[in-house]
Amino acid sequence: MYERKVIPNLNCGLDLIGEVLYGKWKIRLLWFIDQGHQRPSELQRKIPDASRRVLNMQLNELEQHELVTRKIYPVVPPKVEYSLTEFGKTVIPVIAALGQWADEHEDRLRDVILKQIVISDPDDNLVR
């Protein structure tokens, strides 16, 4: 199991939200679970770029932070479903607001992000 080498700074709300939501797929996982995609296979289809292992790790962290619950049904093969806790539902409006802000600034954000990506041309010369 992973052991932290540095104790997190938990002195303000931004530090706390960073600890809970830091992870490439966590915001999307919360959003898709809220939208009704509860099975791990459904979440994998909604986020195809993420490996199953990473999704499981981030789902476990969301569960440890009490944002989601996991229900395991006693059938063969095992059936697992995730749902938001009441606490987890409180973060959905925040995620929606972030998404709306990004939609409003989509062109500018895309330009800024694309400036940072290094692209190779056919002659193997790097182009920025």
> All domains of the chain, ordered by start, with CATH?
7-90 (1.10.10.10), 91-128 (no CATH)
- The pLDDT score that the predictor gives to residue 8 is 74
The model's pTM is 0.82
Average pLDDT value for residue range 62-72: 96
In the 8-state DSSP scheme, what is residue 126?
A: E
* 3-class DSSP assignment, residue 74: coil
pLDDT of 126 strictly over 60: no
Tell me the pLDDT band of 4, cut-offs 50, 70 and 90.
Answer: low
> Which of 6-15, 25-34, 79-88, 103-112 is predicted least confidently?
6-15
Angle at 64 between CA 63 and CA 67, to 5 degrees: 45
- The pLDDT score that the predictor gives to residue 64 is 95
Q: Which residue has the higher pLDDT, 126 or 48?
A: 48
In whole angstroms, what is the distance from residue 34 CA to residue 82 CA?
10
In the 8-state DSSP scheme, what is residue 50?
A: S
Tell me the pLDDT band of 18, cut-offs 50, 70 and 90.
Answer: confident
